[in-house]
Amino acid sequence: MSYAGLNGKVALVTGAARGIGAATCRRLTEEGCKVVAVDVLVDELAQTCAAMPGEVAPIVADVAREEDCDRMVADAVARFGALDLFVNNAGVIGPRLPITEMPVEEFDRVHAVNIRGAFMALRAALRQMQAQGRGGAVVNVASVGGLSAQPFSCAYGSSKRAIIGLSGTAAQENGQHGIRVNAVCPGAVDTPMLAPAMSRAGDAGQAFKGVPIARAADPSEIAAFIAYLLSDEASFQTGGVYPVDGGRTI
């Protein structure tokens, strides 16, 4: 497992304490990256980072706060001297309610992290990469929920569709800077975020009916694709929107 061009790069991953973010930190450290792991969960982040095989610096920051987004990038540069790779992964799912029952506060809370926060984090990372003038790569973590409509998911689904739009705009604006920007759309992934949905579904056979690979992904399977997109082996891929979903969206 070794993708070209990752060894020695500096990567920042948000939502890194658990789930897909933690798996991505692990994969990138295995690839020889120096990783800055960002999360709001202080203790869990420290534990996750302590268990990593390579060089990882934990930074506690809330991507819903503009000053935190700017600080996490500044801290990454102070620690490792640059920022080459950015994984815009932090997200929350919000309540499972029909539109008619969704409180505005809950809608806003999901959007504050999943799209407003993702925008502020992306902006801070792109400013740094552009100033360095040596290119870079970004992966925005969207969802199959941003590709196809799902009931009771108005806040989450709309935020994930929005991040696909944000990702495309960023790709358009940054090709000239040698910065590639892609979006991945995971299907069901076995993380703490998915646990309530799985326990609601009860029978896994029912939950994955019609999905060619009829199971949830391990977070490492999403991390592997993110690592590929960040690597030089994906050197002609930008502006892409990639389902990593066991075939759910075919």
Ligand X SMILES: NC(=O)c1ccc[n+]([C@@H]2O[C@H](COP(=O)([O-])OP(=O)(O)OC[C@H]3O[C@@H](n4cnc5c(N)ncnc54)[C@H](O)[C@@H]3O)[C@@H](O)[C@H]2O)c1
| Residues making contact with ligand X (CB under 6 A) | 14-15, 17-21, 38-41, 62-64, 89-92, 113, 117, 141, 143, 186, 188-189, 191-194
- Which amino acid belongs to residue 66? E
Residue number with CB closer to ligand X (147 or 171): 147
Q: How far is the CB of 150 from ligand X (least distance, A)?
A: 11
Q: Which residue of the chain is nearest ligand X when measured via CB?
A: 19
* Secondary structure class of 235 (helix, strand, coil): coil
Residue number with CB closer to ligand X (83 or 188): 188
Query: Which of the residues 3, 156, 228, 242 is marked catalytic?
Result: 156
- Concerning whether 156 is annotated as a catalytic residue, the answer is yes
CA distance 240 to 137: 12
Contact between 13 and 59 under an 8 Å Cβ cutoff? The reply is no
For 132, counting Cβ atoms within 10 Å of its Cβ (0-12 exposed, 13-18 middle, 19+ buried), the class is middle
| Number of CB atoms found within 10 A of residue 151's CB | 10
Residue number with CB closer to ligand X (132 or 150): 150
CA distance 168 to 245: 20
Residue number with CB closer to ligand X (20 or 155): 20
Residue entry with tokens 């948000």:
14
Phi, psi angles (nearest 5°) of residue 5: 85, 5
CA distance 75 to 89: 18
- Which amino acid belongs to residue 107? F
Q: How far is the CB of 178 from ligand X (least distance, A)?
A: 26
Q: How far is the CB of 229 from ligand X (least distance, A)?
A: 14
Phi/psi zone of residue 22: left (φ > 0), alpha (ψ -120 to 50 degrees), beta?
A: alpha
Q: How far is the CB of 131 from ligand X (least distance, A)?
A: 23
| Helix and strand counts by DSSP (H, E) for the chain | 9, 7
Token reading at 78: 């102070």
Q: How far is the CB of 169 from ligand X (least distance, A)?
A: 18
Residue number with CB closer to ligand X (33 or 61): 61
Query: Which residues are part of the catalytic machinery?
Result: 156
